[in-house]
């Protein structure tokens, strides 16, 4: 099937605890446009367990996928017959959750006699700022901070990714979540810790900045989690609210400091003047403020996804499928067989 300038892509995201469906129209200028989307978060369901329960997540995706597809199509003002291809997240993520989205998307495509496109979840995040009011231009440095991934890469175009550095143990998102759990905060931990941090002093505790002064661009946050645990133990059995807020603020400051300083190093190493920040942690207010300040001093540009598109969503999956298709990197398939890849490096996409 040949891509037309106005092709419609219906995208499904189901890699973890959000079910997202969106409709994107390919653009003749090369940047697809979001027409409509629908999203359901499972946060409330998983809160009782303190984290994502994979089996419950998969079952909820089964319940939500088709109603959300109808909602996204209504929002876009189009019908199923108008869809030219159906995209889905192939990985990485929870195997059962991925199977639901892939199965629904493939079955729907077969019923419509339309091709399918499999998408890498992290590429969806990486390209999501192209749906913002201030989309980037290639080339740029990307700071990808999503779930268990923290990566810096040079991006010269769709599919042209050079890894500059990545986490060697815990990712930034995991550092947020694990620190929040130690402080007795709810799920999801990252936003809860950021809210508590607003009440504390970021310089209250001298927490470590792992690998900050190393010449490479890799990350390590496991030691920070241990430092938070040790500091909390020294507070005794019943730390005050002020002490907990100070520790939350200090933990957030340490994470953000590492992300910002490593990003500055990456920009210097590449000589580029454009930074893209994507993934769930890109919504963090302190991170955005410090990166914006660093960029203003050095005269580079920073681009972020819209806040509603920082977490997992169908829009980024439909977008990535459209951009890869337009770039000639993938061919849509009518085989209607599929596999999911719970572990999948972006370099292999």
Does 146 show up as a binding residue in the annotation? yes
Question: What sign for the dihedral angle of Cα 131, 133, 137, 142?
Answer: negative
Q: How many angstroms separate the CA atoms of 229 and 231, rounded? A: 6
Does 147 show up as a binding residue in the annotation? yes
Does 241 show up as a binding residue in the annotation? no
Contact 27, 349 (CB under 8 A): no
- The 10 Å Cβ neighbour count of residue 337 is 7
Does 24 show up as a binding residue in the annotation? no
**Helices (DSSP H) in 2-53: which residue ranges?**
43-47
Does 144 show up as a binding residue in the annotation? yes
- The 10 Å Cβ neighbour count of residue 161 is 20
Q: How many angstroms separate the CA atoms of 306 and 128, rounded? A: 8
Does 145 show up as a binding residue in the annotation? yes
Does 273 show up as a binding residue in the annotation? no
Cα dist from 170 to 53, 174, 255, 316, whole Å:
20, 6, 11, 25
Contact 202, 151 (CB under 8 A): no
Does 148 show up as a binding residue in the annotation? yes
Does 186 show up as a binding residue in the annotation? no
Does 280 show up as a binding residue in the annotation? no
Q: Which of 111, 133, 155, 130 is nearest to 24 (CA)?
A: 130
Q: How many angstroms separate the CA atoms of 262 and 28, rounded? A: 36
Annotated binding site for substrate: 144-148, 177, 190, 284
User: Binding site membership for Fe cation: which residues?
Assistant: 121, 125, 312
Known binding-site residue numbers: 121, 125, 144-148, 177, 190, 284, 312
């Amino acid at each position: 099937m040949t891509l037309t300038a106005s092709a419609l892509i219906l995208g499904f995201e189901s890699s973890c605890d959000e079910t997202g469906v969106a409709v994107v129209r390919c653009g003749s200028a090369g940047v697809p446009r979001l027409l409509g989307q629908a999203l359901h978060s499972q946060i409330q369901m998983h809160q009782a367990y303190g984290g994502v329960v994979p089996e419950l997540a998969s079952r909820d995706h089964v319940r939500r996928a088709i109603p959300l597809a109808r909602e996204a199509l209504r929002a876009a003002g189009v019908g199923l017959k108008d869809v030219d291809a159906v995209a889905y997240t192939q990985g990485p993520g929870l195997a059962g959750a991925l199977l639901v989205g892939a199965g629904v998307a493939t079955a729907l495509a077969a019923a419509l006699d339309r091709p399918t496109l499999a998408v890498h979840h992290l590429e969806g995040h990486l390209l999501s700022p192209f749906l913002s009011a201030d989309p980037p231009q290639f080339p740029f440095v990307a700071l990808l901070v999503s779930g268990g991934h923290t990566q810096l890469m040079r991006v010269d175009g769709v599919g042209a990714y050079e890894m500059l550095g990545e986490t060697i143990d815990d990712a930034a998102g995991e550092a947020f979540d694990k620190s929040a759990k130690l402080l007795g905060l709810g799920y999801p931990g990252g936003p809860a810790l950021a809210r508590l941090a607003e009440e504390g002093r970021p310089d209250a505790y001298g927490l470590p900045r792992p690998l900050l002064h190393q010449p490479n661009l890799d990350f390590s946050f496991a030691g920070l989690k241990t430092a938070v645990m040790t500091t909390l133990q020294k507070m005794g059995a019943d730390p005050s609210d002020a002490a907990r807020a100070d520790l939350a603020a200090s933990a957030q400051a340490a994470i953000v400091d590492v992300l910002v300083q490593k990003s500055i190093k990456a920009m210097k190493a590449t000589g580029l003047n454009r930074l893209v920040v994507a993934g769930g942690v890109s919504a963090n207010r302190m991170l955005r403020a410090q990166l914006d300040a660093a960029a203003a001093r050095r005269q580079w540009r920073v681009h972020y996804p819209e806040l509603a598109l920082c977490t997992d969503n169908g829009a980024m999956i439909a977008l990535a499928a459209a951009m890869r298709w337009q770039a000639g990197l993938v061919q849509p398939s009518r085989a209607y067989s599929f596999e999911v890849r719970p572990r999948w490096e972006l370099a292999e996409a």
